[in-house]
Amino acid sequence: MKRLSVNKNIRLETIKRSMATVIFSTIERVHEYLQTWLPFIE
């Protein structure tokens, strides 16, 4: 897995299939906020 440290609090890494549930849950939790910035999210 590739990782890139942006700073001590932020790390970017390659998405793995095992992360799907966490990513989906996070998007669902902040869905309303995301619609403000990403109008294609309905």
Q: What is the pLDDT of residues 3-26, one digit of tens each?
A: 999 999 999 999 999 999 999 999
**Residue 39 — very low, low, confident or very high, per pLDDT cuts 50/70/90?**
confident
Task: State how far the Cα of 14 lies from the Cα of 2, in Å rounded to an integer.
Answer: 6
pTM score: 0.60
For the cut 80, the answer to whether the pLDDT of residue 31 exceeds it is yes
DSSP state of 28: H
Q: What is the pLDDT of residue 7?
A: 96
What are the distances in angstroms from CA 23 to CA 31, 34, 39?
12, 13, 19
Q: What is the pLDDT of residue 1?
A: 75
Question: Which sequence spans correspond to the domains of the chain?
Answer: 3-37
Q: What is the pLDDT of residue 11?
A: 94
